[in-house]
Each structure stands twice: as C-alpha cells, then as structure tokens.
C-alpha cells in the first residue's frame, strides 16, 4: 500500500466510518488502522509503505463533526501528506505529516496532526526505536501547529540530534492545534493520549518503526511527557513503552494557579500571565461546566479570546504588562480540585523510569518548582534521575541536557 494521497490541509475531522470523497484523485483508500502487532514487531499489520510521497495538490474531503467525534479507534491514521518545508529537518531520511485519531481528557475521540521523521539509511533489526516528542508552548491558534510551520531553532536541533543518534522522532501537534476544536493547554491526560497515539499512527504509516518507544518533552511538552509516563503502558499495551524524559517541565502549577485572585502581586515567573491565560482558555473549552469566564475580568476575557487567535510570540504584545491579578474578577481557589485534575502532575503511578532536566537559571519554570516535585517523587518511591544545569535558561535546557537524556534513553531501550 502507498501513502494516502492528500494535500496539506485536512478539511474536517474524519472517522473510520466517514465517507471519503476524492477531488481530482482516483483510488483514495480508507483511513489506516493503528498498528496492533506485538511489542518488538518491526512491521505492524496494516501499515502503509513509506517509500512514496503523496501526489501534490490532491484533496480529501471527509464527513464528520468538528471537534469530538463519536466513533473511531485511537491511533487510526486519517491522512498522510508531505511535511511542509518549514517543518522539515535536514537530518531526516524521510518525513511525513499525519492526521490521526486520539482521545481527550474524558475519552472522547478527537483528531490531531503530527510529524514523522525517520533517520537516513536502513533501519536496524526490529526497526527504528521511537522518540515521541512533545513540543513546548507555541500558542493556541491553528496556524501555530509545528507540523505546519516548524518549531523553534532549538527544538529543531534537539530533534535532529535524536535522528543522528538513530532514533525515529514522531511529534504530535496536540489535538485542537491545527485540527477542529480548541487546544486543551496543559491538560495532562489529553496531551498524554496525543503523544501515545502519535506513536501508533506513525507505526501505521511507516512500517520501519519499532514498537519500543520513549516519551520526550520540553516545557509544555515536559508536562505532557510526565503524564504520558503514568498512563502509557495501560493506555497502549500494544506498544513497548520504556520511559520518559521531561525537560523544563512545569509541575505544581495547580497549587500556584490556585493562589490567583484580583490584585495578586507578581510571583517572579516569566510569562506567568500568558501561561495562565492559555490554561484558563483550555479549561474553558475542556470543562464548560466550570464557567471559567465568571472568574475572568473583562480584560481577562478579552485576552483569553485573543489567545486562541494568534501564536505565542505575537500574543506577548497583547498581554503587555498585564499581571495575573489583572485577569481575574474573583479568587480562583474554588477551581483548585478541577485544576489538580486538569494540570496537576502526580508523583506516583509511574511503571517506567523518569529523567528530569532543569536549567538552574530558568525563569519560565523556576528550579524550586522542579526541586519540590523531585522531592515528591522521592517520597513516593518513584524511580527517577534528576539533573540541574547551572546557568542554563529555559530553552538552553534542550542543549545542556541532551547528552544525559540520550544516555538515559539508550539504557531504557536496552
């Protein structure tokens, strides 16, 4: 079988029961089911061949309801297409962009997109081991999706280093970023599902990928990697999950955010106003019963709306000098249980080892938050490796921690 022929934009959510209509292209096949081979299988059943790129200009239009759908299997491939040049990496031997099905916080089926990067050369026996990379904050708007426009230069080099080391890298955009519905920013459970189902989808699209995999993430993605580590084995027993790497990962944010109230002084966390807005916007969509707007001031509601329209860097100019206290109309301590469920990172429940890397001079995710979480891991008896990199800022952790993280992953892959 060949790559599904589509152009660079999927026009609506697709489910396996949907009707596919080819426009100007004959012979379009149905969505590809996720790989279900036993751990260690290098060629999962139902996989498409990786050799041929899709025809340029082809379009697939599918029926289905935007946002959450009512049918489908997590990890099913809806579409495969050429990876846009902006997202391509020079160290990759082959690359594609996939649209696939995944689940949200409550188990509803969503669609997501992501990139598949395969190293140059022939795969090793058993297939390329897989790094499922979870990216950092880029914003909430559809046009920010990394598989469409690429990520930061630091992230591109970080991913390339994994390719040069002999790992295939699959990278979700997260559901709602470039697909119907909103991105549930820092919704740990939903992000974990997106990261895991990206591996299933990539293996269905590229048969040379092994079932052995690790989760690796930075910043927002580090938060996702930690949540992935708690559920990966149970959520996807068809895969061979080995461990997680979390760099600059925000933890204990549920406790920090619960302090929010009108007039609260600045807490010295760079970008906290923006990240708070992203989180409130995500919770507003994921948990409508919480009436998030009732906690926001008029300025907070306006900024939360604007947050869904532009990417992170551009959004900074709208936030300006606003503080968290400027966003709120009343204290948010009543949201504490919901915040813990939505973005809290538990210290127990991990069945594979963790690696955490932290920049000593990180002002976005300050070291004290990470150190407190590491203490919680120790108290819970969770196996982990923790490294602090003195003088390194938030983005610099990607470079400073790579060698340690790679050695950890090499050992985990066995």
pLDDT one-digit tens code per residue, 242-276: 999 999 999 999 988 888 999 888 777 788 999 99
| Per-residue confidence (pLDDT) for residue 13, from 0 to 100 | 33
CA distance 406 to 404: 5
Mean confidence (pLDDT) of the chain: 85
Instruction: Decide if 78 contacts 121 (C-beta within 8 A).
Output: no
Please state the rounded mean pLDDT for residues 132-148. 97
Residues 6+ apart with CB under 8 A from 365: 219, 222, 248, 249, 250, 358, 394
**CB contact burial 163-196 (16+ within 10 A = b; e otherwise):** beeebbbbbbbbbbbbbbbbbbbbbbbbbbbbbb
Q: How much of the chain, in percent, has pLDDT values that exceed 70?
A: 83
| Per-residue confidence (pLDDT) for residue 197, from 0 to 100 | 98
| Per-residue confidence (pLDDT) for residue 35, from 0 to 100 | 56
| Per-residue confidence (pLDDT) for residue 267, from 0 to 100 | 75
pLDDT one-digit tens code per residue, 268-294: 778 899 999 999 999 998 899 999 999
Residues 6+ apart with CB under 8 A from 220: 134, 135, 136, 137, 185, 186, 191, 250
Residues 6+ apart with CB under 8 A from 291: none
pLDDT over threshold 80, residue 159: yes
Sign of CA pseudo-dihedral 266, 271, 272, 277? positive
Global pTM reads: 0.86
Residue bearing tokens 């919480």? 290
Residues 6+ apart with CB under 8 A from 337: none
> Quick one: DSSP state of residue 139?
B
């Amino acid at each position: 079988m060949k790559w599904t022929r589509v152009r660079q934009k999927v026009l609506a959510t697709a489910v396996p029961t949907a009707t596919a209509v080819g426009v100007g292209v004959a012979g379009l096949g149905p969505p590809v089911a996720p790989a279900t081979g036993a751990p260690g299988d290098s060629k999962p059943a139902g996989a498409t061949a990786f050799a041929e790129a899709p025809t340029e200009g082809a379009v697939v239009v599918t029926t289905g309801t935007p946002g959450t759908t009512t049918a489908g299997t997590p990890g099913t491939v809806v579409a495969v297409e050429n990876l846009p040049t902006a997202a391509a990496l020079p160290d990759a031997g082959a690359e594609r962009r996939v649209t696939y099905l995944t689940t949200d916080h409550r188990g509803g089926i969503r669609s997501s997109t992501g990139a598949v990067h395969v190293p140059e050369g022939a795969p090793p026996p058993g297939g390329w081991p897989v790094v499922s990379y979870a990216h950092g904050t880029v914003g909430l708007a559809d046009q920010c999706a990394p598989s469409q426009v690429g990520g930061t230069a630091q992230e591109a080099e970080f991913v390339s280093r994994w390719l040069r080391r002999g790992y295939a890298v699959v990278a979700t955009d997260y559901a709602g970023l470039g697909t119907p519905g909103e991105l549930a920013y820092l919704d740990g459970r939903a992000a974990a599902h997106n990261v895991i189902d990206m591996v299933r989808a990539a293996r269905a699209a590229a048969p040379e990928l092994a079932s052995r995999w690790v989760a690796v993430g930075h910043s927002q993605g580090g938060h996702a990697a930690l949540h992935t580590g708690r559920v990966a084995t149970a959520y996807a027993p068809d895969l061979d999950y080995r461990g997680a790497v979390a760099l600059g990962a925000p933890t204990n944010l549920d406790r920090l955010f619960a302090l929010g109230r009108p007039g609260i002084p600045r807490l010295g966390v760079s970008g906290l106003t923006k990240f708070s807005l992203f989180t409130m916007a995500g919770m507003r969509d994921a948990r409508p019963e919480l009436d998030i707007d009732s906690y926001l001031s008029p300025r907070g509601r306006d900024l939360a709306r604007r947050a869904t329209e532009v990417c992170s860097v551009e959004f900074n100019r709208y936030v300006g000098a606003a503080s968290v206290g400027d966003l709120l109309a009343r204290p948010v301590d009543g949201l504490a249980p919901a915040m813990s469920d939505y973005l809290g990172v538990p210290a127990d429940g991990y069945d594979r080892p963790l690696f955490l890397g932290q920049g000593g001079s990180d002002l976005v995710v300050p070291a004290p938050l990470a150190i407190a979480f590491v203490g919680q891991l120790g108290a819970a008896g969770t196996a982990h490796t923790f490294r602090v990199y003195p003088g390194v800022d938030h983005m610099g952790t990607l470079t400073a921690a790579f060698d340690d993280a790679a050695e950890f992953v090499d050992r985990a892959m066995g």
